[in-house]
Structure 1
Amino acid sequence: MGATRGLLVLHNGQIHTFDARHPRAHAIALRNGSVVALDDAAMALAQQAEAVRDLQGACVIPGFNDTHAHMEREGLKTLRPSLAQARSVADVLNVVRERARLTPKGQYIVTMPVGTPPYYFGGPAQLREARMPTREELDAAAPDHPVYIPAHFGNWGKPPGRAALNSLALRRNGLTPASQSRCVGVEIGLDAQGQLNGEIVEHNNRPTIEFDLLPDVPRFGFAERIQGLRISQRLYHAQGVTSIYEGHGSAPETISVYRRLWEEGELTMRTSLVVSPTWDNLTEAARAMRDWLAVARGRGLGDPWLRVSGVHLAYGGDAAVACCARQDLPNTGWSGFVEQAVTPADYRALCFLAAEHDLRVNTIVGDRLHEIVPVLREVDARFPLNGRRWVMQHIARARREDLLALKSLGILATTIPTYCLWKGGSAYLDETDGGNAVVPHATFEELGLTYALATDNIPYQPFFTLWVAARRQERVSGRTIGPGQALSLQQGLAAFTVAGARLTFDEDWKGPLYPGYAADLAVLSDDPFSQEPEEWKTLHSTLTIVGGRVVHEAEAA
């Protein structure tokens, strides 16, 4: 993806550069994909500029770097009929009936889940009848089509999720009253006569229904994933996101989708991917690391637009879920990554293998950082980790001594405040320390630990995440978790923009808005520095520039 080579000058703005040498500016000049001047030096170039824009006092920040983005899935949500406006079973059936009118007989009708996006909290509780449509009701709405209304993806909301199928879909998937899931936490619904009622309830956070029970339901194909990624880029750019890091890992097909967009010159998001491995055992993992993952070693392979570096190693997981999901590859459903189930012993062995082959490890640690730090120390004793930039992600509850260990080992961190504090904060409401060890941002700041914020696509709006990081309120009770760990706006923006460049060894050319650095920036719809945190939740970008190129511009009101 080439950068615009002409000179562009933006002036009359409140520009926060996040560079200590020149923290605030009123004008900025961009050329050949880079920042070339600020303030008076930028204005001196205005006469020779290809374009000059008056920002009319708007706030400008470096582009967001979402370091746990799951960007590829957002656009996919737009490809299926929405039930967001449904408030009764009849409303759901009307959507199905209309889709049946437009769909050739025998082809599937697959909708989005029942519930209000982006979380689908409560699912059918938003319907007047507080239930899913029955098999018979779906049969009447679409007698000649298999119909599938999926449960919500667990990472969006909270279990349980409820799916519904009509008789033809049940039959084509081979389901009978005697059917059983290989995974725990799944209920196949029966009516009073012991017959299938069409409902399947998923109590797991990680999805299993489609992988295990529904082999006939259409998967997202490669063309759909390409289409979805094109849409996703536009949606993320509209929030001011200019870079992403997929630290949870990307499955082979997901990497292929990004590669296709990159090859066709359509990748406008600076993208760093981590390999989500498909191996089944340590022997296969050793062979893959030795023979097939050379492209992902060290800093990885790629350019400023697409890079692949390192692997994601899970710590824990459900073996049955992982088995079912692997059997369904290349499909990964909504996740985009490969489900893993890794025992502590295997995790230790995999970390040693990764260090031996110079593969950066990314691990979601949650509340288990204290279990992983001893492994990291062991690995470091044999393969020094400083400089390799391994990443411990999704840090939730963490002891100070373990954070100090990360700092001493040169390991980086990411957090997802929305997931841990707002959406899942009920687990931490009764901590003995008031929650100050949960997502402890202030401690990160005090220790000088390099960390970055991320959205996890729940939702994908960075300013919603920043509001959570500032207020730390659990969504149901409104109670504050760990008030001493709140981030200021300045701290949060730094962690969400410039800090992420260190995860990809890019801090010498990307991040701050300073001469010589990438021309990646967002012009905001309002000035968050003059607002209360509650107002941040609706902020977005009116103009997003990546590599000097305008990738998003809001229509004039």
Structure 2
Amino acid sequence: MTRKAVERILHNARIITMNPVQPSAQALAISGGLILRVGANDEVLALAGPETQLVDLQGQTVTPGFIDGHAHMEREGLKTLRPSLAHARTIGDVLDVIRKEAARRPKGAWIITMPVGQPPYYFGGPSNLAEGRMPNRLELDAVAPEHPVYIPGLFGNWGAPPGHSALNSLALRHNHLDGASRPCCQGIELVRAANGELTGNIIETNKRPMLEFDLLSAVPAFSFDDRLEGLRRSQQIYHAYGTTSVYEGHGSAPQTLSVYRQLWEDGGLTMRSRLCISPSWTRDDADVFLRDSYAYARGVGLGDDYLRIGGINLGLGGAPESAAASRRALPNTGWAGFVEWHNTIDDYRYYAEGAARHNLRVHSVVDDRLTEVLDVFEAIDRQYPLAGRRWVVEHIGNVTAEDILRMRRLGIFITTNPLYTVWKNGAPKVDAPNGGNGFMPLKTLLEAGFPVSAGSDNIPVNPFYAVWASVVRQERTTGRVIGPAQRLSRWQALQLITSHGAWLSYEEGRKGTLEAGKLADLAVLSADPLTVPDEALHDIHAHLTFVGGQLVHGDLGAYLS
């Protein structure tokens, strides 16, 4: 039998394999996009041939490539397409950016910036400016009288509402806004001067902004080409933190799916992307979509190692006017990338039963409504057994012992967002019963045998924020620990973004650990996540990232022997 040619050997490394049978190693060999051997330096180097590239990692740490279990990857690159206001500390700083944009753009072209505040969260908005307010329309008019100007408020999932927007007079006119204008959606306030005229400032308390869908239809949406370039940039940013796969269970709108497909067809998709559908139906046409339009998404879905689409996201709750505005705006979905919903529990039951009937996997963000969702799933299970279908609940909050038993019976899979859930939004839980140990109880779930996974939620993109939040479980405003008994060890936390993430896409036999026969997806890290101090965990990034044995991030030059 002909011995396989070894294309590349990484050696002199501290390899954390995430394989409990062989948890550590010094070297690994890659052939044909797969891992050929993992072991000691001498053992693996003996496989080298004359054409083998030897990569001396000089003691650096290697892990499996990270699997972001709730990525929203398409957003990140879009942020780079608009002028940043991150440096702005005064209204004058903001106006300087607008003035420069006006000077370089043709007359009449829109000027749209990123929000005021510090990325990635944009906490505080205008409180970051010395004046403590947004510029008004007259101030914006003074520096850009011939360009419509729009400074959007934050996308609430990044930070915390309210969001503060500002428009100049021309932008207001383009959107037919005046003192008599009123929003259709709740949570939007047009700020007025004492005489009733609009100041150009708008305040929104919705977590996912409806302003552009409701009142600002003239503001140019991200185009298909914008989204394509944004996705191309996004995957490079995610690769820089060692991420090699994303799972998008929150759902992708039709345009988002098309953008992924285009990048895939162009041969430019380097991130293993697992997507599900964000429905744009109404109850009247849901059956047709489930029966006919989504046939390609049944079971494990269709696709290849780089792009696979399967299942649907079913939302619960939401405001009817927001859902209607979102659908009117399609294909534009703003920053969300998915379609907003308004589903009562009865609507949710109707759609979930239809999905089960047509073998469409269901993914649902449940927050603190897990018990209600499990009631629905158990009723469906009596007619369409769910075991083996791997239905997924995401963004879990409170979980009871009974919930855990029910999820085990149903074969439910779980994704979590530790930074979003505990650190960013955990303040109401600091005085929860039992010390908050029933809130996103990661350790309990792991000990119960669930391959729980975690995601970045794009806030920020580094998966080590999820690791850090799982280890320390501190809430950001008080520093208090929520659920001390649920804090994870470093190994357990790494499982959330490696081996466990592979189960979400039925690929636990192909990726998530570094062992012979699996995909050569791996990251060479800036520090060892098993030994760095807690406060340094979220600063870890990748020096090198490989997908299928191919370098997608970093420079190999310093490591070649």
Q: TM-score normalised to the size of structure 1?
A: 0.98
Alignment match, 2:389: 388
CA-CA distance at 1:38 after TM superposition: 1.5
CA-CA distance at 1:50 after TM superposition: 2.7
Q: TM-score normalised to the size of structure 2?
A: 0.97
- Equivalent position to 1:218, from 217, 220, 223: 220
| Paired residues of 2:6 and 2:47 also in contact (CA < 8 A) | no
Alignment match, 1:159: 161
Answer yes or no: is 1:302 the counterpart of 2:303: yes
CA-CA distance at 1:6 after TM superposition: 6.1
Deviates more, 1:207-216 or 1:48-57: 48-57
| Paired residues of 1:9 and 1:49 also in contact (CA < 8 A) | no
Alignment match, 1:463: 464
Answer yes or no: is 1:501 the counterpart of 2:502: yes
| Paired residues of 2:302 and 2:310 also in contact (CA < 8 A) | yes
Unaligned ranges ≥5, structure 2: none
Listed one character per residue, the Cα deviations across residues 215-268 of structure 1 (whole Å, up to 9, x for unaligned) are 110100000101101110100000000000000000010000000110011100
- Runs of 4+ aligned residues of structure 1 deviating over 6 Å after TM superposition are none
Where do residues 341-420 of structure 1 align in structure 2 (5 Å cutoff)? 341-420=342-421
Amino acid at match of 2:13: G
| Paired residues of 1:400 and 1:443 also in contact (CA < 8 A) | no
Alignment match, 2:171: 169
Alignment match, 1:139: 141
Alignment match, 1:524: 525
Aligned counterparts of 1:258 and 1:461: Cα–Cα separation in 2: 21
| Paired residues of 1:11 and 1:55 also in contact (CA < 8 A) | yes
Listed one character per residue, the Cα deviations across residues 385-441 of structure 1 (whole Å, up to 9, x for unaligned) are 011010001111111210221112111000001111011011211202111011100
Amino acid at match of 1:33: G
Amino acid at match of 2:24: R
CA-CA distance at 1:309 after TM superposition: 0.3
| Paired residues of 1:36 and 1:42 also in contact (CA < 8 A) | no
Alignment match, 1:17: 17
| Paired residues of 1:111 and 1:149 also in contact (CA < 8 A) | yes
Where do residues 533-544 of structure 1 align in structure 2 (5 Å cutoff)? 533-544=534-545
Aligned counterparts of 1:245 and 1:364: Cα–Cα separation in 2: 14
Aligned counterparts of 2:533 and 2:397: Cα–Cα separation in 1: 26
Amino acid at match of 1:406: M
- 1:497–1:49 distance in 2 versus 1, CA, 3 Å: farther
| Paired residues of 2:6 and 2:48 also in contact (CA < 8 A) | no
| Paired residues of 2:544 and 2:556 also in contact (CA < 8 A) | no
Listed one character per residue, the Cα deviations across residues 528-550 of structure 1 (whole Å, up to 9, x for unaligned) are 22211111111100000001100
Where do residues 183-262 of structure 1 align in structure 2 (5 Å cutoff)? 183-262=185-264
Listed one character per residue, the Cα deviations across residues 52-99 of structure 1 (whole Å, up to 9, x for unaligned) are 000100011001100110000000000000000000000000000000
Answer yes or no: is 1:430 the counterpart of 2:436: no
| 1:434 match: secondary structure | helix
Aligned counterparts of 1:165 and 1:554: Cα–Cα separation in 2: 43
- 1:410–1:555 distance in 2 versus 1, CA, 3 Å: same
Listed one character per residue, the Cα deviations across residues 432-459 of structure 1 (whole Å, up to 9, x for unaligned) are 2111011100111121112101110011
Aligned length: 553
Aligned counterparts of 2:541 and 2:115: Cα–Cα separation in 1: 26
| 1:198 match: secondary structure | strand
Aligned counterparts of 1:501 and 1:528: Cα–Cα separation in 2: 20
Amino acid at match of 1:291: D
| 1:504 match: secondary structure | coil
Amino acid at match of 1:258: Y
Answer yes or no: is 1:478 the counterpart of 2:441: no
Deviates more, 1:13-22 or 1:321-330: 13-22
| 2:530 match: secondary structure | helix
Alignment match, 1:287: 288
CA-CA distance at 1:510 after TM superposition: 1.5
Listed one character per residue, the Cα deviations across residues 348-397 of structure 1 (whole Å, up to 9, x for unaligned) are 11111000000000000001101111111111111110110100011111
Listed one character per residue, the Cα deviations across residues 85-134 of structure 1 (whole Å, up to 9, x for unaligned) are 00000000000000000010011000000000000000010100000001
Amino acid at match of 1:498: S
Amino acid at match of 1:465: A
Amino acid at match of 1:385: L
| Paired residues of 2:13 and 2:60 also in contact (CA < 8 A) | yes
Unaligned ranges ≥5, structure 1: none
Deviates more, 1:527-536 or 1:208-217: 527-536
Aligned counterparts of 1:61 and 1:169: Cα–Cα separation in 2: 50
Alignment match, 2:35: 35
| Paired residues of 1:9 and 1:51 also in contact (CA < 8 A) | yes
Amino acid at match of 2:159: G
- 1:556–1:176 distance in 2 versus 1, CA, 3 Å: farther
Aligned counterparts of 2:468 and 2:420: Cα–Cα separation in 1: 13
| 2:440 match: secondary structure | coil
